[in-house]
Amino acid sequence: MSEILLDSQAFFHNLTLISQHLKTHSTSTRLALVLKDNAYGHGLREIATLARDFGVQDVFVKTHCEAKIVQSLFGSITILYGIPQEPLAPNMAIAINNKEILESLCPGQRVELKVNTGMNRNGISPDEVEEYITLIAQKGLELFGVFSHNGYGDEVGEDFALGCENFHTLKDKVASICAGLGIALPRFHMLNSSGTLRATHIDDDLVRVGIAAYGYLECDIDLEIATQLKPVASLWADRISRKILPKGAKIGYGGKSVLAQESVVSTYDVGYGDGLYRVNEHKNLHTADGQRILPRTSMDCFSCASDMPRICVFDNASLVAREFDTISYEVLTRLSPFIKRTIV
């Protein structure tokens, strides 16, 4: 059956590369790993185990369900979305974007307050920070962190620097509020992969590294370090059937592929039902060894002029993303959680 192979050495290489960058451009900033959405499609349990072995202590997941899967592996796990239906474990925190979440929590639970510093997506307004921190203290919750998201790390222009300046101003404001309330200073973080790797000075407590850990950097800025990242996941498919077909034979739905000569044609057990993009007659997608994936692909399989019993569908998601005018994130997170993941 189809399989996703996870290159542990590539993963450790990427984390080492990023860690070395942090040592050069910060004094004590920690590397935290984003594991949301099934570890960007790579497999939550598998990647979490590798991250623990590397020494990662802080991670970010999408939901409480994801948090419970990795609960025993990390010192701190922050849940980015949703309202937990049961009390959080002591090593879990919940991101706060609104008062409804606050009202659902019990005293003693950890929270991380998200603040909008220019992306205008999620997070409360900086003008509401004092009100929220006061409510957190009154409810007996632990203000574990205050964070933001700089959405301009991938872009050329002044917006990235402005977001950083806004966050530094926010940190000073939070420090003053906490001192006035007599509560401990929380941890601060705002940088994602591209923000981390382009920054020349980092003074936050941690950085939230996602896509770079998996071998990619979707960035318009020319960063040498991006060329040194290694993709972690490769998608493999096994042969279902093999046929010798004559010249002129039509293949698949609508017969959009017509053989120019007699060929061996095999079908392989990955299709759009497994998360691979549907290849039609307007797309030109090749396997890792250069064989064209013949249109039109099916829900559970694709055809290829190959005689290989197993074939690598892709080992670089960027090549698939380029053909479908998207980004590596989407290619990877689409991969079905039912495909077997194997660490190699």
Count of beta carbons in the 10 Å neighbourhood of residue 54? 17
**Which of 28, 68, 21, 30 is closest to 48 using CA atoms?**
68
Per DSSP bridges, beta strands 257-258 and 58-61 are unpaired
- The share of the chain scoring above pLDDT 90, in percent, equals 93
Top-level class of domain 8-228? alpha beta
Distance of alpha carbon 318 from alpha carbon 323, whole angstroms: 9
Structure tokens of 284? 């030109």
* 118: phi then psi, degrees, rounded to nearest 5: 140, -15
The predicted pLDDT at position 269 comes to: 98
CATH 2.40.37.10 in the chain is located at 233-343
Catalytic residue among 23, 36, 132, 329: 36
State the average pLDDT for the chain.
96
Cα three-residue angle 307-313-318, rounded to 5 degrees? 150
Is residue 253 flagged as an active site residue?
yes
| Cα-based distances in Å from 181 to 130, 174, 185, 284, 329 | 10, 11, 10, 61, 41
231-270 confidence digits (pLDDT tens): 999 999 999 999 999 999 999 999 999 999 999 999 999 9
* CATH fold for the domain made of 233-343: Lyase, Ornithine Decarboxylase; Chain A, domain 1 (2.40.37)
Q: Is 283 a catalytic residue?
A: no
Note whether 62 and 38 are within 8 A (CB): no
Q: Where exactly does CATH 3.20.20.10 map onto the chain?
A: 8-228
The span from the CA of 137 to the CA of 268, in Å, is 57
% pLDDT > 70, the chain: 100
The predicted model gives 292-307 an average pLDDT of 97
Mean pLDDT over 91-106 rounds to 95
Contact of 152 with 220, CB cutoff 8 Å: no
pLDDT score for 247? 97
**pLDDT at 42 exceeding the cut of 90:** yes
How do 76-79 and 58-61 pair as beta strands?
A: parallel
Tens of pLDDT, residue by residue over 183-222, are 999 999 999 999 999 988 999 999 999 999 999 998 877 8
**Residue of 23, 243, 253, 340 marked active site:** 253
